[in-house]
Amino acid sequence: MPSDHASPELLGALSRLHGDAAAATFPFEVEGSDEVRAKRTALLEQLSDYILPRLVQLEAPLLVVVGGSTGAGKSTLVSSLVGERVTESGVLRPTTRSPVLVHHPDEAKWFAPDRVLPELPRTSEVNNATYALRLVASDKMPRGLAILDAPDVDSIDAGNRELASQLLAAADLWLFVTSAARYADQVPWDYLRAAAERSAAVAVVLDRTHPDSINEVRGHLARMMTSRGLSDSPLFTIDESPLDVDGLLPREAVTGMLSWLRDLADDPAARAEVVSRTLDGAVRLNVFRGFDLVDGLDAQVAVGRRLTSAGERAYDEAARKVADAVADGSLLVGPLGARWDDYVGSGEVLASVEQRVGRIRDRFIEGVTGKRTRAAEVTEAVVSALTVVLTGAVESAARTTAAAWDAEPAGRVVVESHRGIDRASREAAPAAERAVRDWQQVVLDSVKTEGADKRLSAKFLAFGADGVALSAMIVALAGPSGRDQVARRVLDSILGPEQAARVVERARADLDARVRRYVDAERDRQLRVLPSVTELEAVRARLSESARGAEHARHLDFLGDDA
């Protein structure tokens, strides 16, 4: 970093990246989703734990995090470097449950809860709390340097492993400790590989190695470091040595390492170079992670679109089926058609509508008995027939949608986690009936409006508004079945051809609209279990922009205008 402070542009860009990454979710189980969720967690933790706090306090002491394999002697090494017992080691594993940060007393302010690792609570007491950072002030620590003893990276305790990763990601300098027995283990090398990938400052300590084999082991370890991109990293060795009465290594065993650390602490330029190198690598890595999250959101959007489209197609087909049933007159082929035929006496040959009025008038009028008229029975049959068609259509659409979702892993998880998603809602049947009855009321109101000047005529009185409205509904539902001939003649005769045509046209249009709204409501109910594709797309767009902005700001701050 060319200056002694981070630019407002870089801080703002990384803060936006953090906010947009925090808003990103990966709800669908698609290939690579676990990996991208882990990258999101790592990005958020490193930005909040290390990058952003460090950028606003570049003059803070160099934070050296000591990590490594189980039993490598990290706690003993930390205490030996400080020159007094500041950490506790023991026979039981895992031993380092409460990480310890040792600093000079005059520099305590840099490690307040709002600074490095702000999410970890602070304590000054020796305790066994996994997620408490114990602060130890020691006047034996040089100013400009702080050492943090982290849990084992290969601990049998999952919480310790997670904490170790978090602490190492917050380091200006990684001091990796291993031993002759553990230096080839895979887990520590996974961490070292990650350090090399982001150009983090790393030093390796080969501890607890017998003098007879130290040269051989050191040579092999050095070759492994070179092959993994760590050839420039210092490598310190510590012979297997007895501890003194305070449990510390002999002073001469750590002299070289201690001198190197003190030189870094005493040289502001060297310290700034280490911080800048690690910060730049961390920012670069997390910008890349940001772009990886964008790619992950692309996959989420793609599967969301597929699942949504499958549902939309199924419900569009449901609406088409209902429209076809209305248009082709099939509703009047079954029981409803039989009731209508029986009602109007389809076998009779009538000379005129006037004769028809005389013959079927009693069928439309209930009289003084209070019993339901035959017209009311046919009207109820219309309600029943349309309700069955509507509920059957959305029931079929629900099954079709669930089957389509179940055909791919992401959709299968949705189906399995939402019981009954392959069925229409409990409100489907009542809602269908309400829609049909509301439609009937619209037809009745239309008949009254169009026949306002004819409501006192003998024909209108003979049929009544309900009878005329029933005739209009039959015409609207008959299609090419032929059962609408008498109903149409009744409408034309009572309302007039022009008014009758308007009533029927309005009835068909209103029914089409209600069917669409009903089907759409059931569709929305089913698709509501899916994450919003629109929201995923919006988050993706913002994250893509913030990642590009962070990359641009990084180039200006760390690499200069000519990078």
- What would the pLDDT profile of 138-148 be if each residue is shown by its tens digit? 999 999 999 99
Mean pLDDT, the chain, whole residue set: 86
Q: d(Cα 510, Cα 324) in Å, to the nearest integer?
A: 15
Over residues 434-445, mean pLDDT: 95
pLDDT of amino acid 127? 62
pLDDT of amino acid 350? 32
Q: What is the pLDDT of residues 266-314, one digit of tens each?
A: 998 899 899 999 999 999 999 999 999 999 999 999 999 999 999 999 9
Q: d(Cα 177, Cα 153) in Å, to the nearest integer?
A: 11
CA angle 380, 384, 386 (to 5 degrees): 115
**Structure pTM?**
0.78
Instruction: Give percent of the chain with pLDDT exceeding 90.
Output: 52
Q: d(Cα 339, Cα 538) in Å, to the nearest integer?
A: 55
Over residues 155-176, mean pLDDT: 86
Specify the amino acid at residue 72.
Answer: A
CA atoms within 13 A on the CB side of 77: 33
H helix or E strand, kind and range, residue 167: helix 158-169
Is residue 121 scored above 90 in pLDDT? no
What is the side-by-side order of every strand in the sheet holding 201-209?
A: 122-123, 133-137, 100-103, 145-149, 62-68, 173-179, 201-209, 235-239
Q: What is the pLDDT of residues 324-356, one digit of tens each?
A: 988 888 888 778 888 887 777 643 323 334 444
Q: Does residue 389 contact residue 331 with C-beta atoms inside 8 Å?
A: yes
Q: d(Cα 35, Cα 119) in Å, to the nearest integer?
A: 23
CA atoms within 13 A on the CB side of 98: 18
pLDDT of amino acid 306? 97
The band of 3, judged by pLDDT with boundaries at 50, 70 and 90, is low
CA quadruple 480, 483, 488, 491: dihedral sign: negative
CA angle 122, 128, 129 (to 5 degrees): 45
pLDDT of amino acid 286? 95
Q: d(Cα 475, Cα 43) in Å, to the nearest integer?
A: 66
Q: What is the pLDDT of residues 200-239, one digit of tens each?
A: 889 999 988 888 888 999 999 999 999 888 888 999 999 8
Is residue 530 scored above 80 in pLDDT? yes
| Domains parsed from the chain with CATH numbers | 1-59+272-299+532-563 (1.20.120), 61-266 (3.40.50.300), 309-530 (no CATH)
Over residues 53-82, mean pLDDT: 90
Q: Which of 99-103, 237-241, 536-540 has the lowest mean pLDDT?
A: 237-241
The β-bridge partners of 102 are: 136, 147
Tokens 């676990």 — which residue? Answer: 34
